[in-house]
Amino acid sequence: MLYALEARHAPVVSLWVWYHVGGRNEVPGTTGMSHFLEHMLFKGTTKHPKGDLDRLLARYGAQWNAFTSEDVTCYFETVPKAHYKTALELESDRMRNALISIEETEAERTVIVSEREGYENDPSFLLGEELQAVAFSRHTYGQGVIGSKDEIKLMTRDGLYAHYRRFYAPNNSYVVVTGDDEPDRLIEDAAAAFAPLEPSRDLGEPPKAPEPEQHGERRVVVHRAGGTLPIVMLAFRAPRATDPRAAALSALVVALAGTSTGSDGASGRSSRLHRALVETGLATDVDASFQLMKDPYLLWADATLRPGVKHADVERVLLEELAKVATDLVGDAEFERVRRQLLAATAFNTDTITWRAYRCGQLLSTGAANSIGEWYDKLAGVTREQIRDAARDILTERARNVGWFVPENAA
Amino acid sequence: MNRIERSILSNGLRVAIVPIAGLRSTSVLLAVEAGQWFEPAGRAGIARLMAQAMLRGTKMRDATTWAGALDALGAVARLDVGQHAAVFSAQCLGTDLRELLDLMAEAIRTPALADAEIEFVRAQTLAQLEKDERDTRAVSDRAWRQLVYPDGHPFRVPPIGDASVVRTARPDEIRAHHRSAIAPDGAVLVIAGGTTARDGAAAADHAFGKWAKRTEPHETRHPLATLSTTKHRVELVPDKTQSDVIIGWPGLPRTDPRFTAARVTNMVYAADTFASRAGHVIRDQLGLAYYVFSGMGASRGQSPWIVRMGVNPQNVKRAIEVALDELRKVTVGQIADDDLALAKDKLVGELDVALESPGGVAAMVLEAEMFDLGDDHFERYPRELRAVTKDQVVDIARLFLPPERYALAVAGPPLPDILV
């Protein structure tokens, strides 16, 4: 599938290749495989040996990277438009021709362990990983993305290569391009690059492990010395991106925590959680998020506590605020404010060519909408009643997962 | 680069507007000479306390009302204290530019700086400082600065400041700092994105035209930072799996004519994990770290020029040795022609790619305006990057990055190796 958007304000093109493979395609014993594979796609093909791609893109001043999520693995490069065809050539080449040698697998293994160890230094990661695992009993979303350290250490080259050959193919991917040219021409060039590639004959069925309904609160407490400030994190089971409530939930998290610019930022301070927790001196920072995902996932809300504040006090206030928004309609002025923040944030993101392409790909990959315009219309059409009703459906005690990070004194 | 419309308001505020057709949003950067460089000696943290308190209500509106007005625009904004400037950065819909600038001007010119709000900011800052005590990045950064900068130097501590200063800062002191540091002379306002030159100029004048000039001179003098020997510090942070490593030197001012050559040197050596020598060897060849990069700050002083790595404690010693080996190669001219060409190509190419966002455009213009790089900077700069020679790179590396004299800070789990 190919999709192109015009963006004429800068002489660049942003090319994104999305593969329908991520943490959800893994089973215990191979967690982290999709992410490991993402690293290996930078380790060379016959035509472009290791280092070729990095240096070519660097030479163009490109902004480039890759990421793996629970649902997808994604590669992108934003390049001066004169180099668009080279970017296409690099991406089409590595779609089917990555070498994934034993030597490079071994060299990269320690890099990935290092990446994971960097995350482990962050108390929020430690708590979030535990809470995500508790929230899912069957669905592979509970495994996260980066994988366990032990399984990263056990990953085999042959396993990675089989995963690659199965999932990296034109019939399991789509390409989104945004940039300084006619969309038809952008698509024509992309088609010429990818059409000759052989499809995968081994895609199989998408993973099916529906998560059973949750019938009561689950809790997890992480005691560690690696952080000084306590954290309370809530994760509610939430619907997939195609659910009619997805747009309302996107608005709900803005009502709860704004479109955050971090704890030092001046925006989002009119949000409910900020007023209830930060302005009252209970927390240093709050956040809430709802992600567009292929399968039912989670709506998150969390607070980092001021020193000396008790977890139970913050959890109680958090739950009170969530109960209010699930019971009463947001006021007129608040609704206008939330709507404005939501729609302005859409403009901010899509005014950057790279992120316009990302947003489009995210909507397409999850089925949330067929275009940025369609999603914008969905957000613009959200009503106060829909926000309340979505909150009432989602923010229940039965579907709630609660995590506490409890700092310990160093030994 | 799009056309830049420059003007200077009667109070000295320099305004640069870059209309970008086809965009709905506008990025705004207002840089005031109120960064660490202009902080009172020995009072590290006053500038940031002041900046945070400026976002908590004005003489016309309390904190809740001001924040509500900002959110009602759907705008995002923050005020950060950097090495040189305090930078108010914001983004709004182009149609809301005038309202946004009015809100920013209110916070800048007439903040309430009320006692209760200062106490709120103090408590938040102390909490952040407590959090930083177990953050390996923050611990290594603080330790590294203490190795390099002498007492009284503004970069000796990070912008968040010293806990002792934050605890004892008096509201009067913060209000006095606002009177002396926040002024239009020396300040730069950049507007980039979905607006016109005329609308942007009118909005800027409406918001900031009556901002009073500084009444007292704004002079600063700071001790020189020099590294006469190599210095090490290892900080144990409990319950961590990875060590944060900083190797660094005091850098050179952005106004130094050698700064462009220094940027190329930085790129050749370690600026990019994938395009520079250090990352290529440490990550790609040896698999010792997930990230390796270097950065050099832009200020009127000797901003940190540092290499950062996240490394398993077992590999710390080796990663440091390799980073220094790669630096030695640069200092003796073992630089492949293609590595130098790559560094220059990357820096030039990035100028085009940065045009993709209003924020990227605004950031480039701000640097040029703040450091008086000239109206023709964007025409000259790519040529100047291309003209940097290998000899210049070697000279810069020998002078500013001597591998035999550096400051090393490591924060994280216990290390198996003795570093000294």
How far lies B317's CA from each of A87, B229, B231, B271, B401, in Å? 38, 19, 15, 21, 19
Is the predicted pLDDT of residue A39 greater than 90, yes or no?
A: yes
Task: Kindly provide the b/e burial profile for residues A1-36, where b requires at least 16 CB atoms within 10 angstroms of the residue's own CB.
Answer: ebbbbbbebbebbbbbbbbbbbbbbbeeebbbbbbb
- By DSSP bridging, strand A283-290 and strand A297-305 are antiparallel
CA distance A115 to B289: 8
- What is the strand order of the sheet B86-93 is part of? B5-8, B14-19, B188-193, B25-32, B86-93, B76-81
In contact, A143 and A23? CB cutoff 8 Å: yes
Q: CATH code at A274?
A: 3.30.830.10
Instruction: Give the A:B interface size as CB pairs under 8 Å.
Output: 230
Shortest Cα distance from A291 to chain B (angstroms)? 20
- pLDDT class of A261 with cuts at 50, 70, 90: low
Residue B67 tokens, joined: 């924040």
Same domain for A390 and A284, yes or no, is yes
Angle, CA B382 vertex, CA B381 and CA B385 arms, to 5°: 85
The residue in chain A having the minimum alpha-carbon distance to the alpha carbon of residue B48 is A264
The answer to whether A165 faces chain B, any CB pair under 8 Å, is no
Q: What does the domain layout of chain B look like in residue ranges? A: 5-208, 231-412
Which among B23, B73, B135 has CB closest to A9?
B23
Contact flag B91-A111 (C-beta cutoff 8 Å)? no
pLDDT score for A411:
55
CB contact under 8 A, A114 and B350: no
Residues A184 and A257 in one domain: no
Class at the top of the CATH hierarchy for domain B5-208: alpha beta
Lowest mean pLDDT segment, chosen from A204-218, B100-114, B305-319: A204-218
Instruction: Give the closest-approach CA distance of B218 to chain A in angstroms.
Output: 27
Please state the separation of Cα A8 from the chain's center in Å.
27
CB hemisphere CA count around A233 (13 angstroms): 27
User: Would you say residue B219 has pLDDT above 80?
Assistant: no
Q: Is A118 close to B127, i.e. CB distance below 8 A?
A: no
Tracing tokens 């959680």 back to the chain, one arrives at: A273
Distance from CA of B353 to the nearest CA of A (A): 6
Q: Flag whether residue A332 sits within 8 Å of chain B, measured between CB atoms.
A: no
Per-residue pLDDT at A325 exceeds 90: yes
Q: Say yes or no: A121 and A66 in one domain.
A: yes
Side-chain-side CA neighbours of A15 within 13 Å: the count stands at: 25
In a domain, A274, yes or no: yes
Q: What is the pLDDT of residue A262?
A: 65
* Min Cα–Cα distance to chain B from A216, Å: 32
Domain range spanning residue A248?
218-407
Residues A131 and A239 placed together within one structural domain of the fold: no
Taking an 8 Å cut-off on Cβ atoms, the answer to whether B349 and A59 are in contact is: yes
Residue A224 lies in a domain: yes
Asked if residue A204 belongs to a domain, the reply is: no
Q: How far is B229 from chain A (nearest CA, A)?
A: 31
If one counts the domains in chain A, the total is 2
Is A168 part of any domain? yes
Report pLDDT digits (tens) over B233-248. 999 999 999 999 999 9
Q: Output the CA–CA distances (angstroms, integers) from residue B343 to A8, A25, A99, B210, in the order listed.
A: 28, 39, 27, 45
Same domain, A387 and A268: yes
To the nearest whole Å, the CA of B91 is away from the closest chain A CA by 7
- At B285, the amino acid letter reads Q
Residues A245 and A167 in one domain: no
B149 sits in the region (left: phi over 0; alpha: psi -120 to 50; else beta) called beta
Task: Please report the pLDDT score of residue A1 as a whole number.
Answer: 85
How far away is chain B from the Cα of A339, in angstroms, using its nearest Cα? 8
Strands B188-193 and B14-19: parallel
Determine the residue of chain A that is closest to B286 in CA distance.
A107
Contact A61 B353 (CB under 8 A): yes
Rounded Cα gap, residues A59 and A41, in angstroms: 19
| Cβ–Cβ gap A228/B342 under 8 Å | no
Cβ <8 Å between A114 and B310: yes
Q: Does domain B231-412 have CATH number 3.40.50.300?
A: no
Whether residue A210 lies inside any domain: the answer is no
> Are A329 and A264 found together in one domain?
yes
Q: Which of B71, B81, B121, B338 should one mutate to test binding to chain A, selecting the residue with the greatest count of A CBs within 10 A?
A: B71
Q: Does A105 touch chain B (CB under 8 A)?
A: no
Average pLDDT over all residues of chain A = 95
Three-state DSSP string of chain B: CCCCEEEECCCCCEEEEEECCCCCEEEEEEEECCCHHHCCCCCCCHHHHHHHHHCCCECCCCHHHHHHHHHHCCCEEEEEECCCCEEEEEEEEHHHHHHHHHHHHHHHHCECCCHHHHHHHHHHHHHHHHHHCCCHHHHHHHHHHHHHCCCCCCCCCCCCCCHHHHHHCCHHHHHHHHHHHCCCCCCEEEEEECCCHHHHHHHHHHHHCCCCCCCCCCCCCCCCCCCCCCEEEEEECCCCCCEEEEEEEECCCCCCCCHHHHHHHHHHHCCCCCCCHHHHHHHHHCCCEEEEEEEECCCCCCCEEEEEEEECHHHHHHHHHHHHHHHHHHHCCCCCHHHHHHHHHHHHHHHHHHHHCHHHHHHHHHHHHHCCCCCCHHHHHHHHHHHCCHHHHHHHHHHHCCCCCCEEEEEECCCCCCCC
Looking at residue A38, what is its pLDDT? 97
Measured between alpha carbons, how far is residue B337 from residues A401, B325, B383, B391, B393 in Å? 57, 19, 18, 12, 12
Q: Which of A109, A224, A284 sits opposite B128 (nearest CB)?
A: A284
Nearest to B352 by CA among A348, A13, A75: A13
The residue of B26, B50, B76, B345 whose CB has the most chain A CBs within 10 angstroms, and thus the best one to mutate to test that interface, is: B76
B67 contact residues in A (CB cutoff 8 A): 266-267, 269-270
User: In the structure encoding, which two tokens stand for residue A252, read together?
Assistant: 């709900």
User: Shortest CB distance from A61 goes to which of B136, B312, B351?
Assistant: B351
pLDDT tens digits, B129-154: 999 999 999 999 999 999 999 998 99
Give the distance from residue A205's alpha carbon to the nearest chain B alpha carbon, in angstroms: 34
Q: pLDDT per residue over A268-322, tens digit each?
A: 999 999 999 999 999 999 999 999 999 999 999 999 999 999 999 999 999 999 9
Does position A389 have pLDDT exceeding 60, yes or no? yes
Is the per-residue pLDDT at A206 higher than 90? Answer: no
pLDDT computed for residue B420 by the predictor? 47
Which residue of chain A comes nearest to B78, CA vs CA? A265
pLDDT at res. B218: 73
B345 neighbourhood in chain A, CB within 8 Å: 58-61
The CA distance from B366 to the nearest CA of chain A, in Å, is: 18
Q: Is-contact B97 B29, C-beta < 8 A?
A: no
What value, to the nearest 5°, has the Cα angle with vertex A356 and ends A354 and A359? 110
- A351:B25 CB<8 A: yes
pLDDT tens per residue, range A367-388: 999 999 999 999 999 999 999 9
Locate A373 and state its tokens.
Answer: 């315009």
Is there a contact between B123 and A306 if contact means CB atoms under 8 Å apart? yes
Determine whether the interchain pair B311/A258 forms a contact, defined as Cβ–Cβ distance below 8 Å.
Answer: no
Checking if the pLDDT of B275 tops 50, the result is: yes
Choose from B352, B386, B410 for mutation: most chain A CBs within 10 A.
Answer: B352
Which residues between 133 and 152 in chain A have a beta carbon less than 8 angstroms from any beta carbon of chain B?
Answer: none
Question: Does A379 map to a domain?
Answer: yes
Chain-chain contact of B357 with A351 (C-beta, under 8 angstroms): yes
**Residues A155, A187 share a domain:** yes
The two structure tokens encoding residue A171: 């019939």
Q: Identify the CA nearest to B233 among candidates B406, B42, B45.
A: B406
Residue at A201 is within a domain: no
Would residue A383 count as lying in a domain?
yes
